[in-house]
Structure 1
Amino acid sequence: MNTGKILTVLAASMASISMYAQTDSLKVDTTYTLGEVTVRGMRVINKVDRQILLPTSAMKKHSSDGYDLLNKMMLNGIKIDPERQAITSMRGGSVQVRINDIKANQQDITSLRPDEVIRVEYIDNPGVRYSDGTLDAVINFVVRRRYAGYVGGLGTMQAFTTGFNNSNAYFKYNYKKSEFSVYYNFYYRGYDGRKVNSESSYFFPDGTERHRNYIGYNTDFMYTTNVVQLGYNLSDPDKYTLNVTMNYNGTNNPNFGANQLAQETSRPDLYLFNKKSSKTYTPSLDIYWSLHLPKNQDIMANVVGTYIGTDYSYLSRNYLFNQSPEQSMQADPVNDYSYATTGRKYSLISEAIYTKNFKKVAFSAGGEYTVSHTDNAYTGAVNTDAVLNSDNLYLFAQLQGKLGILNYQAGLGANYVSIHQGDIGFNRWTLRPQLSLSTNITDNLSVRYSGRISQLTPSLSDLSDVRQQSDELFASDGNTELKPYVAYRNNLTINWSLPICDFQLYGNWYYAPDIIMNSYVPEQQSDGTYLLITRPENQKSFSQKSVTAYLTLHAIRDVLDISLYGDYSHYDSRGLDYSHKYGAWGWGSSANLMLGRWNVAASYYTAPKSYFAESMTKGENGSNLSVGYRYKDFKVGLGVLLLGYAQGFDYVSKTDSKYVQSTSHTFIKDNGNMLYFTLSYNFSHGRKYETERKQLSNSDNDNGIR
């Protein structure tokens, strides 16, 4: 090797080492596109409101879709559920996913090609730009687009012995400035091993006590979902973008009840038959338009019209138990609380945003207006017509820039909410300020503080005056007198990045006076007995203080990553006539090995615990082991969920009220040791380009039915 070649190799090596060691040396921002770069060793750039992450080439090669890629990237505070194809926040709020700033749904994420991903923007500190006050994070995939040719693919995840399937297909064709797309997703679940066991004690004002044991029977659980999406995009990236999407989502859920045997000392046994079924169909039209103006200005607008049609059936009948459930149902029921609902909801969401980039400051302002009409007609044990009209106006302005060593983001939102059911309802204005500050202490160490105030509104189902009753002891009501409430959130984040590992310490304090939580209210009946009612009410306050530590170890660069986390949360729940405090620990770990054409992934999470109102809920332990192999555009894999948990999922709920003390276990045996296989195939032809990133998208999926 001659001297010139040696010097060239040494120079390239030193440049590579420098880029790897200095996490902020690569100036990545949302204003430009990273070209065809081979990334070795995922790099993280910390900003005041987000982390910008560059997935490695190995991660993209071994991933089959967007869910798979995020799972390999191990984002702090984010949990990927391969079974449900869900992305959730460990901090309790909601997560929004976007692709080139277009709000993405499941079919968009399953059809995303990892090899076209340039970077991932993990906005773990959303500003006032986002109207959703419950939002914990926004994950935005920045991808390359094509201007000629086509791209398509197929994928499936199928269990061997359980009724379980996720499948998808997509095709996109590009011609000059236009892109035509079609997506189809299919989901199926069919379980026969689901049951609910519980022990409950009821305490009434007259001193009467009732102690009842509920023994669950395996009850069928089944649903199918079909999703079709048609899209058209017309774009000149330096001038304008028009994006039109038509969606249809149809879900048929014929079984999701829970049948039980109720046993009580000195009283006859009862068979509680409970069957719920629903059909929901949701067409929507989404139109987005943007225009580039001179002097770094942009105008964006988005309009979404949605119709939600729902046919819902609630069968709840109590029988005197006679040898078996089938024999018991031959007689007339002792009580029948069944009803049916026909629901229709129409909504229109419109949003507009103006942005202006100055030399050192970025300014944005805009507004969103949502109007909806919901008409749910109930017949049977409940006979009413719940008609709700809702108006929601949100306005905001935001500045982002740098003052000395401080990066800042400051914004103010104003929210007007009006919800009415007949003559009952409310109108309310609320301010939503937010401030975020961050600074780099060293090249590898950064600190960020963020504080915000959010307004949260009651759900449409909580605002209805419908009663849902399961037996002669217990029922749940809505509450037409609910009011919006304000929540305060403060958090402090410390990030420390080294070539061998990344460490984050996250502290959070959440406080919400007048929060909506359930109350247990005894209601005396005409015969002198009591019926215990649970109903949502504006309570005194709720607070949560938590601290979480995350450690990601890059054990073998581009080959093996290991992630660990541990957290502690303290809850303080104060109702109108109760006060509870609770502490909960949790931890989890995951590992991902990428070796040649093979990929091995494993994860384990302890069951998450939380406390709200007067109840502790405990989710399921999570574990997943999978092995994958890729050959050109094909990827095939085998995996198992909940390995070693023959009983499957076990959801636990405990209530400690002065009127109710209960412990409930919901088992889904079918998910224990669930062996599955995955298969995906992607094909493409044509050159690539990046169109303008649509920055607005809205959706509506709240049908308001109890």
Structure 2
Amino acid sequence: MNQYRLIFILFIGLITTTAFAQNKISGKLSDHETREVLPYATVRLLQQDSTFVAGTVTDSLGHYRISDIKNGDYLLYFSTIGYKSKMMQVSVRQDTNLPTVEMESDNVMLGEVVVKSSSFIRQKDKVLIIPDKEQVKHAGTGYDLLYNLMIPGIDVNRRTGTVNTLGGSVTLYINGEKAEFRDVQQLRPKDIEKIEYYDTPTGKYVRDVAAINYITKKYNMGGYVGVDGKQFIGYVGGDYNISTKLNRGNTTYTLFAGYNMKKYNGIQTEKQEEFTFPQSVIQRHSETNGAKIENNQQYIQIKTSHNTEKRTLSVLLGLIYDNIPTERNSDLLEYTGEYKQQQSSTNHKTQNSLKPSFKLYGNFNLSEKQNLDLTAEGYYTKNKYNRTYTENEQHSFTNAEEDLYWLSFRGNYNLKLAHQNHAGVNFEHYHSITSSTYTGDYNKWQHLWMGESMLFLYYQQKFGDKCLLNFSPGVSLLNYKLHENELQRHWSLRLNINFNYFINENHVLMLIGAVGNEQADISYINSMDQTVDFLQIKRGNPNLANTKIYVPGIAYQAQLGKFNLNAAIMSWNYLDNITFDYYPEKDKIINSYRSDANYHSLTAKLAVSYRASDNLRIKINGEYANMRLTGAYKRKTTSFSGSMDINYFWKDFSLNVYGKTTSKSLNQLTLATLKNPAIYGLSLGWNHNNWIIEAGTENPFTKHNRYYSYADCNVYRFNQIQSSRIYQQTGYVKVAYTFDFGRKTSREQNDVNRNINSAILKVN
């Protein structure tokens, strides 16, 4: 009897194991006539009733693989540009390696093929984007390519290297490794296989508002030497770089170096201020009659990386020197109210920083279902700051020298579960120590250490073919201590959650929620005073609260033939938001910081991109924003704005035209309402083989672009207008050339982070 029971249990176990077995399908695509491989073709796995199950794209060698497939009978659908689509039946009972599938050329339609939704492939956790030939050909950098893709809901400023979505800044990665401005700026579009856009980030991207990951081609031999230069027109400025890369087997060696500089007549400001003291009121009108700014920066970077199927390891060393030898403003001042007089002032600042840095990165495929991603990086910065303010016979001096040490560690473990679900752990720690010595009007030594640790758990659950839930709870611990002050400790709960409902293959609805926190900038957390002028003193505050952030939102994405659409509504709520604080003290107005105000922003955005033809692409954005401050300060601002980008490609030439309407914003730190002018511009590019030449202009017919701002902070009010030569009628010429030797290779990312951090209290 026991034997029959054992056999029965084993039989039931065998049936259960078979029913829930997870398999993978792999294979290869090639041309029927030439037998050449077909890279970047779309592969879709469908149920017998054509319901979508999973999808992928062939790699540069024509190979594809789809994992985590249940036993069953399916349809496999293949499609790519210039070829007839093909469908075949496949029965899956175990891991299946299919014979090479040969696709027939569609000679009739080949010259008129238009990539519709196939270039934007919606997957369960991301949008997979395959750049087409024209988008790649007419791009010189990673930013150019991202701009040419015209992803709805993504704003790309390829001139400044900023990428934003409705929720904030988009974090950029290259092959899963976090990238900085120079990484993407020197990435060659022809070396990019595909782009992953995580609009609802999870896994290693869980802390990002949104993430874009460039996937590059991989080669084992050859190298390149490249030079590029960009010269501005209208003011003195330029950016010049040289790079070289060598591939030897699985190891890659890179060297980057560059120099950039600016020199122009500063910012012209006209400002009306009012200072309210207990017994008097003073008004001041100031107008710039001379300004000058000079800045130069040099950097060098060396990197070694080793890549195998099991792991990726890289070591990077960098050095940056940033110098501002001159930043000078001369103003004419007119005082009224308590006393009346006219006089002049001069504000002169110099700054320089030296920053050596390192970065260690490792990605380990522990098994087919387990991955571990580790990053350790750090830097040391020597900062020097000098400011001299003169008003008639009165003088003010501030000198500061700072030693800043910064170290971070990030780890992410990801586990693939059954039924295409995922789970994992994300841990991050940031630590900084800064020591500053101030001399001049106020002599003081400041020492601050700050550390934040974050732990996230995340889980991704698929509900049938229509729904996907990403759930990531976490916790943050922030500690900081300023010399002679009490230790500050803040615990915060964190949460990222989004729910995607796939209406069908071309439409998806997303519900988004997030709970987070934001620590004060290290330059705010001090007990230092610094003279602004002889009516104002800037003062730090070491006792600021930890800002809590709550974000609900809803988004809708659609692919409608030649149209791609994104619509979203987001609400950002900052509780205990850090703002400027103004109060009188004796005969001065103190400008410090406080954290008892709340900031709320409700934003709605509609973005549409239209592929009129292979040669003409258009993107239009419209945005509404309602911003308000409550609590200690009460403010409200509403803004409507729009923008348009047009790309036209013809043979080796490209034309780009763009424009943006006026807009308003409420600065949640300074309490000022800002009015930005309309901007517009165009560029003409020529791309041929390894040469890139581009010329462009911004605001070519505008001589007086002005930025307005005003604020009412009870004891201090101001209204100002700013303009500068760099805001209007500017242009540039860019030339780049790359020489490939051996086999053509991909351009390695340049990981130099050229931002300089500092805890020095500075007057703007």
Query: Under a length normalisation based on structure 1, what TM-score does the superposition of the two structures give?
Result: 0.88
Q: CA deviation at 1:249?
A: 1.5
How big is the shift at 1:128?
7.3
Say whether 1:211 aligns with 2:283.
yes
Deviation per CA, 1:243-295: give whole Å up to 9, x if none: 00001111111223432111123522121211121101111111112322234
2:698 to 625, 641, 647: 641
* Equivalent residue for 1:340, pick from 390, 394, 399: 399
Cα deviation digits, residues 358-402 of structure 1 (max 9, x gap): 232112213122222100111111211110011221111111231
Residue 443 and residue 123 in structure 1: after superposition, are their counterparts in 2 closer, same or farther (change >3 A)?
A: closer
- In structure 2, what residue type is equivalent to 1:471? D
CA offsets per residue over residues 139-167 of structure 1, 9 Å max, x none?
21111122101023221211234211122
Give me the identity figure in percent.
20
Say whether 1:395 aligns with 2:455.
yes
1:26–1:251 CA distance, 2 compared to 1 (3 A):
farther
Q: Distance in 2 between matches of 1:697 and 1:449?
A: 36
Q: 1:41 is matched with which residue? A: 115
From 231, 255, 271, the equivalent of 2:303 is: 231
Equivalent residue, structure 2, for 1:580: 635
Answering whether residue 525 of structure 2 is matched by residue 463 of structure 1, we say yes
Task: Please give the alpha-carbon distance, in whole angstroms, between the structure 2 residues aligned to 1:356 and 1:569.
Answer: 39
Provide closer, same or farther for how the CA distance between residues 17 and 144 of structure 1 changes in structure 2, counting only shifts above 3 A. Answer: closer
Whole-Å separation in 2 of the counterparts to 1:49 and 1:18: 17
Partner of 1:280: 353
Counterparts in 2 of 1:361 and 1:27: CA distance versus 1, 3 Å: closer
Over 3 Å counting, the alpha-carbon distance change for 1:255 and 1:697 in structure 2 is closer
Distance in 1, matches of 2:215 and 2:283, equals: 57
Structure 2 residues not aligned, in runs of 5+: 1-31, 34-39, 45-50, 63-79, 83-113
User: What is the Cα deviation at residue 615 of structure 1?
Assistant: 1.3
CA drift of 1:589 comes to 0.8
Measured in 2, the distance between the counterparts of 1:25 and 1:246 equals 46
- The answer for the alignment partner of 2:103 in structure 1 is none
- The 5-angstrom pairing of residues 551-630 of structure 1 reads 551-556=608-613, 558-576=614-632, 578-613=633-668, 614-630=671-687
Q: Which of 170, 176, 194 matches 1:95?
A: 170
1:324 aligns with: none
Q: CA deviation at 1:566?
A: 1.1
The letter of the residue matching 2:427 is G
Tell me the alpha carbon deviations over residues 273-326 of structure 1, each in whole angstroms, 9 at most, x when there is no partner: 11121101111111112322234212222211210111111222211xxxxxxx
Instruction: Give yes or no for the alignment of 1:221 onto 2:280.
Output: no
Tell me whether 413-422 or 297-306 shows the greater mean CA deviation.
297-306
Q: Does 1:506 align with 2:578?
A: no
The amino acid of 1:113's aligned partner reads: R
Is the counterpart of residue 316 in structure 1 residue 389 in structure 2? yes
Q: Which amino acid aligns with 2:714?
A: K
- Per the alignment, do residues 483 and 221 of structure 1 end up closer, same or farther by CA in structure 2, a change over 3 Å counting? same
Counting only pairs closer than 5 Å after superposition, residues 283-362 of structure 1 correspond to structure 2 as 283-319=356-392, 333-334=393-394, 336-359=395-418, 360-362=420-422
Mapped partners of 2:370, 2:140: distance in 1? 37
- The structural deviation recorded for 1:701 is 4.6
Runs of at least 5 residues in structure 1 that lack an aligned partner in the other structure:
1-6, 9-14, 320-332
Task: Name the amino acid aligned to 1:668.
Answer: S
Bigger Rg over Cα: 2
Superposition map of 1:230-269 within 5 A: 230-236=302-308, 238-265=309-336, 267-269=340-342
Contact 1:100–1:693 (CA under 8 A) maintained in structure 2: no
Q: 1:674 aligns with which of 730, 738, 742?
A: 730
* Residue 700 (structure 1) shift: 8.3
TM-aligned CA deviation for residue 16 of structure 1: 10
Change (3 A) 1:220 1:298: same
Against the structure 1 CA distance between its residues 468 and 632, is the aligned structure 2 distance closer, same or farther, given a 3 Å change threshold?
A: same
Equivalents in 2 of 1:385, 1:131: separation in Å? 39
Match of 1:515 among 562, 577, 583: 577
Q: C-alpha displacement at 1:93, in angstroms?
A: 2.9
2-side partners of 1:90 and 1:204: how far apart? 43
CA distance in 1, matches of 2:231, 2:643: 26
Q: Contact conserved, 1:623 with 1:642, CA < 8 A, in 2?
A: yes
Give the secondary-structure state (helix, strand or coil) at the position aligned to 1:146.
Answer: coil
Matches of residues 21-32 of structure 1 in structure 2 within 5 Å? none
Give the direction of change, closer, same or farther, for the CA distance of 1:552–1:636 in structure 2 (3 Å limit): same
Match of 1:183 in 2: 256
* Residue of 119, 130, 147 corresponding to 2:194: 119
2:538 maps to 1:482: no
Shift of 1:199: 1.2
1:635 offset after TM fit, Å?
1.5
Q: Which residue of 2 aligns with 1:105?
A: 180
What SS does the corresponding residue of 1:217 show, helix, strand or coil?
strand
Equivalences for 1:436-447 in 2 at 5 Å? 436-447=498-509
Cα distance in 1 for partners of 2:203, 2:525 equals: 26
The alignment partner of 1:460 has SS state of coil
Please give the alpha-carbon distance, in whole angstroms, between the structure 1 residues aligned to 2:552 and 2:221.
Answer: 48
Helix, strand or coil at the partner of 1:108: helix
Q: Which residue of 1 aligns with 2:488?
A: 426
AA in 2 matched with 1:343: E
Q: Cα deviations across residues 571-628 of structure 1 (Å, max 9, x unaligned)?
A: 120142x312221111111100011111000111124421135311234533221111
Q: Is 1:74 aligned with 2:188?
A: no
Matched, 1:685 2:756: no
User: Do the aligned partners of 1:214 and 1:262 also contact (CA within 8 Å) in 2?
Assistant: yes
Q: Which shows bigger deviation, 546-555 or 137-146?
A: 137-146
CA 1:693–1:257: 2 relative to 1, 3 Å: closer
The residue that corresponds to 1:539 in the other structure is: 596
> How far apart, in 1, do the equivalents of 2:433 and 2:377 lie?
15
Moved more, 294-303 or 281-290: 294-303
Secondary structure of the corresponding residue to residue 140 of structure 2: coil
Kept in 1: contact 2:513–2:553 (CA 8 A): yes
- Structure 1: which 4+ aligned runs deviate by more than 6 Å? 15-19, 36-39, 688-694, 696-700
1:195 touches 1:259 (CA, 8 Å); kept in 2? no
- 1:65 alignment partner, one of 135, 141, 159: 141
What's the CA shift string for 1:156-198, capped at 9, x where partnerless?
2112342111222211100011100011222211112532211
Range moving further from structure 2, 583-592 or 103-112: 103-112
- Residue deviations 1:507-553, cap 9 Å, x none? 00111211111222122x2xxx3x22222111231111110111111
2:737 match: secondary structure: strand
> How far did 1:686 drift?
4.1
Task: Supply the AA of the counterpart residue of 1:395.
Answer: L
Summarize the alignment of residues 195-206 of structure 1 with structure 2, pairs less than 5 Å apart: 195-206=268-279
| CA distance in 1: counterparts of 2:369 and 2:155, whole angstroms | 37
| Structure 1 CA distance for aligned equivalents of residues 409 and 618 of structure 2 | 43
Paired residues of 2:291 and 2:330 also in contact (CA < 8 A): yes
Residues 51 and 337 of structure 1: CA distance in aligned 2, closer, same or farther (over 3 Å): farther
User: Hey, what does 1:145 align to over in structure 2?
Assistant: 218
Of 112, 120, 128, the residue aligned with 1:52 is: 128
Task: Kindly indicate whether the alpha-carbon contact (under 8 Å) linking 2:450 and 2:479 is maintained by their aligned counterparts in 1.
Answer: yes
Amino acid at match of 2:740: S
CA contact (8 A) 1:354 1:366 kept: yes
How much has 1:496 moved relative to structure 2? Answer: 1.7
Cα shift at 1:77: 3.9
Match of 1:163 in 2: 236
CA distance in 2, matches of 1:692, 1:361: 32
Question: Do structure 1's residue 415 and structure 2's residue 480 form an aligned pair?
Answer: no
Q: Name the SS of the counterpart of 2:358 in structure 1.
A: strand
Q: In the TM superposition, what whole-angstrom CA distance separates every residue of 1:9-56 from its partner, at most 9, and x where no partner exists?
A: xxxxxx99999xxxx9896669x8465676963722335654322211
